[in-house]
Each structure stands twice: as structure tokens, then as C-alpha cells.
Amino acid sequence: MINKDKIERINFLARKKKAEGLTAEELEEQQSLRAEYLEAVRANLKSQLDSIEIMSPDYEESYTEEDKTHIAEMNEKLAVEYEDAKRKERMSITEAGNPRKPQGEAGKMMIERMNESHAEMTAWALDKLDLKPTDKVLDVGCGGGAALKRLSGRIDGGKLYGIDYSEVSVEASKELNKADIESGKMEIHQGSVSKMPFEDNQFDAIITVESYYFWPDLEEDMREVFRVLKEGGTFMLIAEMYLNDDLDEHHIEMARKFELRNLTVDEFKALFEKTGYKETKIHLKDGKYWICVEGKK
């Protein structure tokens, strides 16, 4: 049961983390309190939704015009409140789970949610990736492993690799792709993009989804990806947003809150050229801020 004392303790730990950092025990306590808090938010949201009575359209004929206007206004208000509550819930899971390096129970929950929330964008981008069934493909910052699972259907005779420096992400990717790992079709490694445990010129294709925001030294890390890519191979960088004049408040807030790197289209082009890619193609999705940058070595 989350009570006032626990909320105060959560706030105290958050302030202390900012000011001077937390001990290992305090970090563990913080994660467990946050997980408990998120459960309580969920339960609360669910009970609010369960108590909403949906009016049957059969009665509509007996409504006065005034009733109808009132119902329409209430529905609109509820829809806005519901979307807002969902966004807040997503934000608090992301915050507790730490997208930079997923950790603890909240990290597991966040990664599970990302597997779903990134699915449409990942499918949109990966459909553009030219692959042969016998290709060797690497996913950098593989998170919960959903992109690898998606690619598995296109690989036959080739092999898939994932790498992520978060233990929680590696475990989640392994769990989701158990059968492919057992059959030898996939390997998941724990390690940083900055120093990958792969020989030069290994992969026909390398992808990264929603991860470059956090890489410690972008130019150096791009060179490390380039090193392990085969001559003629493709590197595909996929991100939910890029910096542009139309970016909405929500994305600006996300970038600020999670200290996300955010490049413009021109900066992406320059970065890929500087890394050594011979050809760079940029795909943008209409009505979204999605970007998919393809570089050919």
C-alpha cells in the first residue's frame, strides 16, 4: 500500500540522487518504491476506468438536444483525460525504468512496453532494409529484443546478433528470442556500442532503434559500428524523432527530461558522410517525427 510516508521517501530519494547521489541500498530501495508506486497508479487508473458507465445508444432518441451536447462534451473531456493519464503513466514508467540503461523491475516493464510502442515505427523502417535470408545482422541497443524477433522471419541460413550494455535488456532479449538462441540462429551479447566484441567487416546489415540518443561519443561510436560492417553493407539508424521546427511540446519535453541527443536531418547526413558511408538515404514518415537513416559502406 503506497502511503504518504512512502511518497515522501520517494521524493527524498529523488532529491538526494540529484544533490549527492545514492548508496547501492538506497538505489535498490528507490527502485522497489517506484515499482510499488507504478502499481498503485495503474490500479487507480483501472478503477477509474472501470467506474465509467457507457451510455447505450438505444436511449439516444429520448435525449434532448441539450443532453446530447452535454454527453458529447463529457465524452470529449473523458477522452482527453484518458489520453493524458495514459501519457503520464507511460512517462512515469519510462522515468523509473531509465531508457538510457534499463534497470530493475521498472526497467523490465519499460522494455516490455517499448517492444509494443516501437513496433509500428520499427516495421515501417525495417521494411526498407534490403536483406537476404543468409545475411548476418546486428541490432545495437537491442533492448527487449522485438526488432530481432521481427527480423528472424526474414533470416534463413544467416544469423542474428544483438548487443546492449544493460543486463535487464540482455535478459529480456534472450527471453523473447529463446527458441532462436537455442537453435543457434541468434546470439545476444552484453556490451557497449563503444567497444563491440566483433571482428572487423562482420555484418551485412546493422540496425539501431531508439538508442543512438544515449551513445556516449557519437562520432567514435559511429566509427565502431562502421568497423564491424562489411564493405557494401547497410547501417540503418531508426529514431522516433529528429530535431525540426515543427517538433511538438511532448517530444521537446521527452528530449529535455531524458537528455536525449536530437539531430537535424542535415546533421545526420553530415555524420554519416564523415563516418565514411558512400551513400546515405534519409526516410521521414508523414505525420510523425520518425526518421530512418540508411548508410551504405
What is the smallest separation between the CB atom of 221 and ligand SAM, expressed in angstroms? 7
Write out the residues near ligand SAM by the rule CB under 6 A: 99-102, 114-115, 118, 141-144, 147, 164-166, 169, 192-194, 209-211, 214-216
- Residue 82 or residue 202: which is nearer to ligand SAM going by CB? 202
> DSSP readout, 8-44?
HHHHHHHHHHHHT---HHHHHHHHHHHHHHHHHHHHH
What is the smallest separation between the CB atom of 41 and ligand SAM, expressed in angstroms? 21
Cell of 293: 537513416
- Residue 104 or residue 141: which is nearer to ligand SAM going by CB? 141
Query: φ and ψ at 165, to 5 degrees?
Result: -90, -5
What is the smallest separation between the CB atom of 45 and ligand SAM, expressed in angstroms? 23
CA dist 175 and 171 (Å) reads: 6
CA dist 26 and 81 (Å) reads: 34
Cell of 143: 533492448
- Residue 99 or residue 104: which is nearer to ligand SAM going by CB? 99
What is the smallest separation between the CB atom of 79 and ligand SAM, expressed in angstroms? 27
What is the smallest separation between the CB atom of 238 and ligand SAM, expressed in angstroms? 8
- Residue 82 or residue 258: which is nearer to ligand SAM going by CB? 258
Q: Which residue is nearest to ligand SAM, using beta carbons?
A: 143
Q: How many other β-carbons are positioned within 10 Å of the β-carbon of residue 37?
A: 17
Q: Are 146 and 177 in contact (CB under 8 A)?
A: no
- Residue 102 or residue 233: which is nearer to ligand SAM going by CB? 102
What is the smallest separation between the CB atom of 4 and ligand SAM, expressed in angstroms? 33
Cell of 65: 438536444
Cell of 4: 504518504
Name every residue whose Cβ is closer than 8 Å to that of residue 34 and which is 6 or more positions away in sequence.
10, 96, 104, 106
- Residue 38 or residue 196: which is nearer to ligand SAM going by CB? 196
What is the smallest separation between the CB atom of 233 and ligand SAM, expressed in angstroms? 19
Max Cα-Cα span within the chain: 74
- Residue 216 or residue 232: which is nearer to ligand SAM going by CB? 216
Residue 149's SS3 state is helix
Cell of 146: 522485438
Residues in the chain: 297
